[in-house]
Amino acid sequence: MKKAIFTFFAAALSFNVAFANVGEFELNEEKLMAEFADLDAIDALVEEGNFTLAQLSDENPVMAASLSDNPLMQNFSIDDMDWGSFAWGFCCWPIGFFVVAINKKKDSDQKLSFWIGMGVSVVLGAIGSIGGAL
Amino acid sequence: VLYLVQLAALEARFNLNFLNKTEATNGLPLFFYSKIAFVLLGLLLLQMHASAQSYHRISGDFTQKYKSTDGKQVLIKGRFYFDVKYKKAVYDITFPESQIWVFEDTVQRIFKGDTLFASMPMTFSNEFSIFHLSLTQRLDNYGLQESVFHLEKTEVQNDMVVSYWKPQQALSKQVGRVVLSKKNKQLYGVLFYDPAEVLIRKQFFRNYSHVMGINFPMEVIDIFYRNGNEVYQKTEYKNIIINEPGKDNRYRFRYAV
């Protein structure tokens, strides 16, 4: 009896999971247009003038100010910090190097968190040493 | 072989005897050689056709737009280059500033002029880039057929065919399910779930253009779900070129690290 009940609930769960995607493939076109309205306008201006960001700053400083100047470098934010990896870098980077930095199972955010932790440790260590010497 | 085919064809056409064959030596009439010639020519043409159908390079103009996590708007414009042989995605960026981005293996590198400016690890593989999947004509199933995923089931929803893909058991704690939808036999939407069945990303491929035998989506919409927020990203393509000759300095982009 228990088996039958379990099978029923397992089947019901799998049914729910399998059909949970109905409607997930709908795109809200209005929201999409609203989301990119500003960027589409900037894009049109850049396309027309064949500008770089520096040239756009001269042409339209307000528009240029809303744009990121180095997007690939800004993909990482404090929200992406993996504090465990940070701790490895901060507290014990020689072991953390093997546990995080060259570990293929760790993702880029974890590796970057490790290096940030290590950098902070080095900077604070240097400040402490200078302070101690004075 | 080509030389013999040409000779046999000429013999057949002008009733000559370059190959110095006689009824006594080979016992075959001339029209027999002409038939061989035509068969071989046919095979040759088939081979040429097959090689013409192999796609190895793609390039195009692209524009990417999104809002970054720091609230700033991001606009990136340039031209991308991808060669299946090198598996390097090279982006010749013109906006915000002139840079070259090279995505290769597990590293993304930024060059300013010829100088390496920064390098960072990357988590995705070029094997699953839209460029590689298009050139190898596997975009319709997102390359999942030859991956660690296996097809769970397929169903029809309105004008879409929806397929559900599960990761191998060994990876089920790291990777979640992927759900694909196709419209008119072309990939339309991809849903990515984490192992706890939480939706983490949606991707839509739209406005397909048929370029030299390849269907390429000219617009890709990404929706990322992070900390309860939706982050939209739009990538538009134009001026797509397939199997472009030359420009090795872009497709290959050699550098010293």
Percentage of chain A lying above the pLDDT 70 cut: 71
Burial grade of B91 (CB within 10 A; 0-12, 13-18, 19 or more): buried
* Better pLDDT: B236 or B120: B236
Contacts with B194 (C-beta within 8 Å, 6 or more apart), sequence order: B176, B200
Contact flag A25-B181 (C-beta cutoff 8 Å):
yes
> How high does pLDDT run on average in chain A?
76
**Euclidean distance between the first and final Cα of chain A, in Å?**
78
Average pLDDT over residues A5-21: 46
Nearest chain B alpha carbon to A13: B197
State the pairing for strand pair B88-95/B99-104: antiparallel
Burial grade of B50 (CB within 10 A; 0-12, 13-18, 19 or more): exposed
Task: Give the separation between CA B138 and CA B144, rounded to whole angstroms.
Answer: 8
Chain A residues with CB-CB distance to B94 below 8 A:
50, 52
Nearest chain B alpha carbon to A35: B232
Give residue B7's pLDDT band: very low, low, confident or very high (50, 70, 90).
low
Q: DSSP of B208-247, one letter per residue?
A: EEEETTEEEEEEEEEEEEETTEEEEEEEEEEEEEES--S-
Give residue A44's pLDDT band: very low, low, confident or very high (50, 70, 90).
very high
Is B143 an interface residue toward A (CB < 8 Å)?
no
Give residue B25's pLDDT band: very low, low, confident or very high (50, 70, 90).
very low
Angle at B199 between CA B193 and CA B204, to 5 degrees: 90
Instruction: Note the pLDDT tens digit of each residue in B63-92.
Output: 999 987 667 899 999 999 999 999 899 999
Is B226 an interface residue toward A (CB < 8 Å)?
yes
Instruction: Note the pLDDT tens digit of each residue in A52-108.
Output: 998 998 888 888 888 887 676 555 555 567 788 888 888 888 888 888 887 767 766
Q: What pLDDT, on the 0 to 100 scale, is given for residue B28?
A: 57
What ipTM does this complex have? 0.72
What is chain B's alpha carbon radius of gyration, rounded to the nearest angstrom? 25
> Length of chain B in residues, anyone?
257
State the pairing for strand pair B199-211/B214-226: antiparallel
CB B222 within 8 A of CB B201: yes
Contact flag A39-B65 (C-beta cutoff 8 Å):
yes
Q: DSSP of A23-51, one letter per residue?
A: TTT---HHHHHHHHHHHHHHHHHHHHHT-
Is B195 an interface residue toward A (CB < 8 Å)?
no
For the entire predicted model, the pTM comes to 0.68
> How high does pLDDT run on average in chain B?
85
Contact flag B97-A80 (C-beta cutoff 8 Å):
no
Contact flag A79-B96 (C-beta cutoff 8 Å):
no
Nearest chain B alpha carbon to A18: B164
